[in-house]
Amino acid sequence: MKTLVLYYSFGGTTRRLAEAIARSVGADLAEIRSAVPLETREDVSRLIEARKKFEILPLEKDPADYDLIFLGSPVWAFQLAAPLKSFLIQKKIEKKKVALFCTYRLFPGLALWNLSRALRGNKILAKTAFKSDSTEQAAEIWAKETFSKA
Ligand SMILES: Cc1cc2nc3c(=O)[nH]c(=O)nc-3n(C[C@H](O)[C@H](O)[C@H](O)COP(=O)(O)O)c2cc1C
């Protein structure tokens, strides 16, 4: 089963768990990166306030080449992080098996619901929200369990 872990991360938490997931199921890894540099939390706030689509750098991997895709995002303002939202508008993912995860500090809000909605037309195998202090081991257990269902 060709597997990809596709994620966006601003502060490194989602990256840390995405890397653990990729290691545990032997998946490739691809990071969604904003073409507009987002260095500070103020940059991010400005982006959220502007509510507009923005550019994503070309991805190193093509999701079309994979059977199973793990998709990860931080929660921003109780929603899916804007760069991942923009990515999913620009690049349709269809007819795949998908597993969705978000990372959050206090309350995940609608992030997983946003992700599920954006990925209609795919088979959603699992979805989960990890608190930002979750261990890599917790992510690995979830990933292996999900992978065994695929
Ligand atoms: C702009 C911004 C908005 C955030 N909004 C929320 C929120 O609504 N709820 C929450 O629980 N955490 C929120 N957080 C915390 C992050 O979701 C959490 O720390 C996450 O694990 C960060 O992932 P990252 O390090 O991969 O970017 C927010 C963080 C940022 C930078």
Domain boundaries, the chain: 3-149
Find, among 59, 56, 139, 126, the residue nearest to 98 by Cα. Answer: 126
- Digits of tens for pLDDT over the chain (150 positions)? 999 999 999 999 999 999 999 999 999 999 999 998 889 999 888 888 877 777 899 999 999 999 999 999 999 999 999 999 999 988 889 999 999 999 999 999 999 999 999 999 999 999 999 999 999 999 999 999 999 999
How many Cα neighbours within 13 Å face the side chain of 109? 15
- Name the packing angle between helices 13-25 and 136-149 (round to 10°): 50
12 Cβ below 6 A of ligand 1:
yes
CATH classification of 3-149, choosing from 3.40.50.360, 3.90.1570.30, 3.30.1050.10, 3.40.50.300?
Answer: 3.40.50.360
Which of 21, 29, 45, 75 best tests ligand 1's pocket when mutated (most atoms within 8 Å of CB)? 75
Measure 145 CA to ligand 1 centroid, in angstroms: 26
